[in-house]
């Protein structure tokens, strides 16, 4: 006999009705399967190795690593928006990295992770002990077979421990915070705490090592010494140049030379004017330099009275007196008179002497002006060289102060590194859980009850499906070629004999 397929049941209520009927009929099977499932789960939980969890937290804050430029940076300015998610993720990946795990395992020792089963005391513990040993041996043989088949690789004891720690390590970012949570689950709670603390310690060491630039202080020391030597060299060159050129104050010396040059040009212009008037036969009167002389020395714009040469003045006085004498003679004598001619000869001789003297005076004045101009050119050259040295000194001085500041920053940074001051702060040591976190026995046992009921009901349905006995009208309707006539109620055993003529003796 078979129950009707679900396609022939018209409503969902009929389905639940059928399930309830099967449950009432097969309740013992369902209860038995549920009990067996719960007991089996309980037995497996007793055989599973309990694991304790060690947990610690790391706080990532704003610090010199993410708010200051490193001492070797070109500029000391940096812009930060706070602790970035990328920085937290970088620290998480560092904590998960295999080199740190390997260093932790090597520090603790592989032997510490070789956990042996505790010796049994009671008979129940002995049973559990032998079952666990058998299970471990079975797993080891299965692993050997896989290695022999070249499906898995044979690992050393160290590699096995590293893989164990990798699988048991949990590093995650606490939501909506700057905390990094580090968890490790191992059968030995003390070993788990020790492993987490060692891992965090290696992480902090690596954190400092990555952000530390080697030989920074010595590098800046060398640069500061080089800049100091360059400053001393420039100062020595500047002092030697001033001594060689006999320069104390360039501006004052230039002012004095320009005043002397202006004075000489004024005298030259006056002498040349006298010479011009003399050659044109007109009398020369003492006068100040004209506008042409002032224009020749326009940068100075200085007016200086020029005092005529005494010898030239005496000659001019003699010429003037002779000319007056000649005018008096012309009143009583003819121009070709011997006396007038004698005066004319004297006047010509004196004018020739005056012209010669002016030529010599002009030449001397021009030589003096050329010498002063040469001194001005030399002074300008010295000024250019001093300006170049000053520019070099300014650059060297700026570099000196910059390297000195960077050296101080590098020294402070090195001291902070030695003092282990960083922006990743452990919030205390690792703490172990008070109870095992694996397996979650209460949850698993709670799940085993509905799981057993489900398995029992499924088995009951399967048992009902393969049962060929006809017990209901629906069972008969499911057969082809058999007509359904009606349903009768079975009589008790005592009433069956009355129907056949009374009870038998």
Which two tokens mark 215? Answer: 């030989």
Query: Which 3 state secondary structure label does DSSP give 184?
Result: strand
Query: Which helix (H) or strand (E) element contains residue 60?
Result: strand 52-60
CA distance 296 to 366: 14
DSSP β-ladder status, 179-186 and 169-173: antiparallel
- pLDDT tens per residue across span 441-486: 899 999 999 999 889 888 888 887 777 676 666 666 666 666 666 6
pLDDT at 297: 33
Angle between helices 250-279 and 338-418 (to 10 degrees): 160
- pLDDT tens column, 219-238: 888 888 999 999 999 999 88
| Pairing state between β 179-186 and 431-432 | unpaired
Q: Tell me how far apart the terminal alpha carbons of the chain are, to the nearest angstrom.
A: 39
User: CA–CA separation, 366 vs 6, rounded Å?
Assistant: 134
pLDDT of residue 500: 53
Q: pLDDT confidence of 65, banded at 50, 70, 90? A: low
**pLDDT on residue 307:** 44
At 149-181, the pLDDT tens digits run 888 888 898 999 999 999 999 999 988 888 999
Q: Is the CB of residue 261 less than 8 Å from the CB of residue 296? A: no
37 with 448: CB under 8 angstroms?
yes
> What was the pLDDT predicted at 63?
56
- CA separation (Å) from 346 to 5, 46, 142, 339? 165, 152, 147, 11
pLDDT at 301 over 50: no
As a whole number, mean pLDDT of residues 287-311 equals 39
The model's pTM is: 0.55
How is residue 494 written in tokens? 């005592």
């Amino acid at each position: 006999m078979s129950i009707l397929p679900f396609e022939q049941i018209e409503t969902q209520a009929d389905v639940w009705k059928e399930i309830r009927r099967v449950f009432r009929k097969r309740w013992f099977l369902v209860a038995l399967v549920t009990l067996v499932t719960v007991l089996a789960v309980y037995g497996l939980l007793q055989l599973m190795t309990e694991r304790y969890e060690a947990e610690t937290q790391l706080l990532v804050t704003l610090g010199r690593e993410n708010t200051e430029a490193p001492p070797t940076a070109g500029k000391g300015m940096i812009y930060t928006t706070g602790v970035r998610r990328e920085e937290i993720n970088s620290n998480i990946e560092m904590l998960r990295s295999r080199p740190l795990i390997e260093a932790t395992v090597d520090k603790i020792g592989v032997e510490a992770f070789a956990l042996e089963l505790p010796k049994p005391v009671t008979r129940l513990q002995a049973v559990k002990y032998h079952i666990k040993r058998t299970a471990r041996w079975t797993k080891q043989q299965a692993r050997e077979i896989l290695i022999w088949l070249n499906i898995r690789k044979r690992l050393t004891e160290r590699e096995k421990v590293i893989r164990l720690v990798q699988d048991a390590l949990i590093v995650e970012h606490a939501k909506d915070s700057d905390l990094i949570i580090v968890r490790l689950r191992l059968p030995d709670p003390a070993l788990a705490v020790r492993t987490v603390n060692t891992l965090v310690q290696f992480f902090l060491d690596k954190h400092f090592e990555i952000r530390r630039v080697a030989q920074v202080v010595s590098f800046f020391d060398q640069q500061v010494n080089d800049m100091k030597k360059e400053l001393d060299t420039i100062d020595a060159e500047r002092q030697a140049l001033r001594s060689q050129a006999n320069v104390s104050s360039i501006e004052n010396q230039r002012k004095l030379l320009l005043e002397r040059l202006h004075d000489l040009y004024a005298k030259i212009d006056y002498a040349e004017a006298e010479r011009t008037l003399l050659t044109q036969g007109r009398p020369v009167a003492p006068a100040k330099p004209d506008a042409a002389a002032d224009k020749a020395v326009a940068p100075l714009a200085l007016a200086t009275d020029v005092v005529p040469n005494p010898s030239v003045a005496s000659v001019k006085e003699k010429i003037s007196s002779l000319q007056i004498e000649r005018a008096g003679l012309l009143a009583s004598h003819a121009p070709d008179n011997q006396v007038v001619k004698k005066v004319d000869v004297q006047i010509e001789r004196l004018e020739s002497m005056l012209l010669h003297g002016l030529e010599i005076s002009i030449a001397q004045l021009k030589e003096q002006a050329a010498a002063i101009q040469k001194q001005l050119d030399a002074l300008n050259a010295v000024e250019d060289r001093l300006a170049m040295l000053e520019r070099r000194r300014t650059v060297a001085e700026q570099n000196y102060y910059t390297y000195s500041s960077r050296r101080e920053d590098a020294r402070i940074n090195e001291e902070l590194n030695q003092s282990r001051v960083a922006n990743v702060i452990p919030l205390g040591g690792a703490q172990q859980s008070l109870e095992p976190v694996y397996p979650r026995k209460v949850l698993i046992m709670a799940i085993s009850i509905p799981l057993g009921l489900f398995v029992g009901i499924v088995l009951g349905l399967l048992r009902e499906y393969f049962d060929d006995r006809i017990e209901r009208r629906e069972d008969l309707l499911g057969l082809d070629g058999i007509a359904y006539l009606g349903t009768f109620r079975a009589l008790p055993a005592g009433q069956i004999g009355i129907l056949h003529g009374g009870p038998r003796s």
